[in-house]
Amino acid sequence: MTDPVLVEFREEGATVITINRPAARNAFDYRTTVGMAEALDEMDRRDDQIVGIITGAGGTFSSGLDLKAFLAGERPTLEGRGFGGMTESPPRKPMIAAVEGYALGGGCEIVLACDLVVAAENAKFGIPEVKRGLVAAAGGLLRLPRRIPYAVAMELALTGDFLDARPAHAYGLVNRLTAPGGALEGALELARAIAANGPLAVRASKQVVAEAATWPPDETWRRMRAITGSVFASDDAKEGPRAFAENRAPRWTGR
């Protein structure tokens, strides 16, 4: 049986996770969700991996929920982790979605659970669950209005219509556009820029940016210092300035 999720741990510190069900347009069943969760956990555990990339096989990202599996009683979620093993509890390390073709329903919600998005110019996004009498309850209704204008998000949620990559880029949902077929390489280019930096600083920066909007105003500085304090006390915090003074590339240890 073909693995529904493929994982490649690359030397430059980027983990490439490929949703590998092209015959089902990379729709998620329970087995795919488990495979995704295992891949993300391994990436988070490995010190040599700084950033993750999620993409889809066969020219499409993901059509979301496998409706046939759903009708058979399957639910592609994990307790505490959500759809695809990540929508409720994304990894600690930065995640980039590399989107070709369609990212719909749960596929779009996987994209929204990522921190950065690189998309081909012909990619399309959407949460069309209402067209099937369902709702985008795996984060689409929560995250989409935070990533694009409220009225646009509301229209997508109520009509189920698609959003093309170019307006998605203009709204700020997509970081970088590429030619069709180039999303993964574009994501790897972005990943290399991230992986060149101090791994402790990268993880702490992601955590603060991702969480700060929900902190009470009188708690923001204390909570930020609780996350970043250990970074300033690390060996890497000494190595960065030392490498700059010696005009060489830093040698990060993650300590």
Q: Model confidence at 210, in pLDDT bands (50, 70, 90)?
A: very high
* Residue 253 pLDDT: 92
- Residue tagged active-site, from 129, 189, 239, 246: 129
* Residue 191 pLDDT: 98
Q: Model confidence at 143, in pLDDT bands (50, 70, 90)?
A: very high
183-188 average pLDDT score: 98
Q: Model confidence at 6, in pLDDT bands (50, 70, 90)?
A: very high
**Domain over 199-245 is classified CATH 1.10.12:** yes
Alpha carbons within 13 A on the beta-carbon side of 181: 0
Chain-centre distance of CA 164, in angstroms? 19
Report the CATH superfamily, name and number, of domain 5-195. Answer: 2-enoyl-CoA Hydratase; Chain A, domain 1 (3.90.226.10)
Residue 1 has pLDDT above 80, yes or no: no
Determine the Cα–Cα distance for residues 105 and 230; give it in Å rounded to an integer.
39
Clarify whether 189 is annotated catalytic. no
* Residue 149 pLDDT: 98
Taking alpha carbons only, the member of 31, 43, 201 closest to residue 114 is: 43
Q: Model confidence at 172, in pLDDT bands (50, 70, 90)?
A: very high
Clarify whether 129 is annotated catalytic. yes
Residues 6+ apart with CB under 8 A from 109: 64, 83, 84, 87, 127, 136, 138, 139, 140, 143
Q: Model confidence at 103, in pLDDT bands (50, 70, 90)?
A: very high
Determine the Cα–Cα distance for residues 138 and 115; give it in Å rounded to an integer.
16
112-139 average pLDDT score: 97
Q: Model confidence at 99, in pLDDT bands (50, 70, 90)?
A: very high
* Residue 158 pLDDT: 98
Sequence spans of domains, the chain: 5-195, 199-245
Report the amino acid identity of residue 10.
R
pLDDT digits (tens, 9 = 90+) for 189-200: 999 999 999 999
* Residue 60 pLDDT: 97
122-145 average pLDDT score: 97
First to last CA, the chain: 41
Residue 88 has pLDDT above 90, yes or no: yes
- Residue tagged active-site, from 74, 109, 211, 239: 109
* Residue 251 pLDDT: 94
Considering the entire predicted model, what is its pTM? 0.95
